[in-house]
């Protein structure tokens, strides 16, 4: 296991070598795109969704290549989990300067729009459908689905979940671990119940 001195030395060496390695990185990126096309032919869009869970960078380019609209200067961290895409990611629209933290889950059973400068912290979930499956609940709870929208400049704290049909308004704040079942007005703040100490 390297000590702090060797790690910092490696970091300096990496920074010094970065300009010379850029052409090789571009070539590797082209090879990666070819590999993804092959995987799409073999596994469909599920194969590309699997790539998004393991890629260390370039999520915006992968999303664009398979149908999503992704704006400029976005920061998207791995793993990015996309489920229920049918043939591509065309139901996903991400604006400019959007931040998606590690472990964000996006359900593309319906459309998802994330407007400019919105932030989804780590492990947020945007859920566009409810389906209880083929069991006995199906008659009482039929499938529902509807689009989700996160407004310009909105902030979702870590682990927040937005359910189908919900719009989070511009500049709204959703606290960590909040379950959002109804629209959030522009500029409003909604939070999950806070932890409270138990009586001894």
Residues 6+ apart with CB under 8 A from 183: 166, 167, 168, 169
Report the pLDDT averaged over residues 92-102: 98
- Cβ pair 102, 122 in contact under 8 A: yes
pTM of the model: 0.84
Give the whole-number percent of the chain exceeding pLDDT 90: 72
Residue ranges of domains in the chain = 22-190
Tens digit of pLDDT for each residue in 23-74? 655 565 666 777 888 888 888 999 999 999 998 889 999 999 999 999 999 9
What CATH homologous superfamily does 22-190 map to?
A: Hexapeptide repeat proteins (2.160.10.10)
Tell me if 59 sits within 8 A of 94, measured CB to CB.
no
Q: Are strands 112-114 and 92-94 parallel, antiparallel or unpaired?
A: parallel
CA distances from 187 to 6, 36, 148, 150 (A): 48, 40, 17, 12
Report pLDDT digits (tens) over 134-155.
989 999 999 999 999 999 999 9
């Amino acid at each position: 296991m390297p000590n702090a001195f060797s790690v910092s030395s490696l970091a300096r060496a990496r920074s010094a070598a970065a300009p010379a390695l850029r052409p090789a990185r571009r070539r590797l990126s082209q090879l990666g795109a070819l590999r993804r096309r092959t995987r799409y032919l073999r596994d469909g869009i599920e194969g590309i969704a699997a790539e998004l869970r393991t890629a260390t960078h370039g999520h915006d380019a992968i999303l664009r290549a398979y149908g999503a609209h992704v704006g400029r200067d976005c920061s998207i961290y791995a793993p990015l989990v996309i489920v229920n895409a049918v043939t591509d990611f065309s139901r996903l629209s991400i604006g400019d300067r959007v931040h998606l933290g590690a472990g964000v889950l996006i359900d593309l059973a319906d459309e998802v729009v994330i407007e400019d400068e919105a932030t989804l912290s780590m492990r947020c979930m945007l859920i566009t459908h409810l389906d209880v499956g083929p069991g006995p609940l199906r008659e009482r709870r039929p499938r529902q689905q509807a689009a989700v929208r996160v407004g310009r400049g909105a902030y979702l704290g870590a682990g927040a979940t937005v359910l189908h049909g919900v719009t989070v308004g511009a500049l709204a704040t959703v606290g960590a671990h909040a379950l959002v079942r109804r629209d959030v007005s522009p500029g409003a703040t909604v939070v999950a119940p806070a932890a409270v100490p138990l009586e001894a």
